[in-house]
Amino acid sequence: MSRSARDLIEVRASPLDSREARELIAALNAELLALYPPEQCFHDLDEDQVAPGRGRFVLAWEDGAAVGCGAIRLIDDEQAELKRMYVVPERRGRGISRTVLESLEAVARELGARSIVLETGIHQPVAISLYESSAYRRVPCFGAYASSPTSICMEKRLAG
């Protein structure tokens, strides 16, 4: 029986300032800046937001290389926010984003969150499809995203 690409992905916690994290976040930021004006790019995430008990930043590894990342941070006692989801272009379409997403949803449950919110953009149809196929539904934009004409906000209620 053959194994899928998702079976070969390992998702592990990582500091935001690791070399691999910095490289992936820089690539994500460059991609977003190519799609949206700078004032509509939201790059806020700091080590305190993903500190133990408050959130987590993860890297997805395949064949010894960091190929994706994402973060979850608590907004309050019951709600978490998904941030900084990214997979390198040459590894897309293989289930890595879904693996990272499922890992971060598990972390949110561990932290006691009952729902997860996220922001993505109108120029990211593949991301929108991933979230919609993972039971996220569109909601009014919140916080800094509320006035952004290119933002799409989504929410997922977590079971149990």
10 Å CB burial of residue 16 (0-12, 13-18, 19+) is middle
Q: Which backbone phi and psi does 30 adopt, to 5 degrees?
A: -65, -40
Domains defined for the chain, CATH in brackets:
5-157 (3.40.630.30)
How far is C-alpha 152 from the chain's CA centre? 14
Q: What is the pTM of this model?
A: 0.91
d(CA 81, CA 75): 6
Residue 123: CB atoms within 10 Å: 14
Quick: pLDDT tens for 85-100. 999 999 999 999 999 9
Quick: pLDDT tens for 101-156. 999 999 999 999 999 999 999 999 999 999 999 999 999 999 888 988 889 999 99
Nearest to 102 by CA among 6, 3, 23, 25: 6
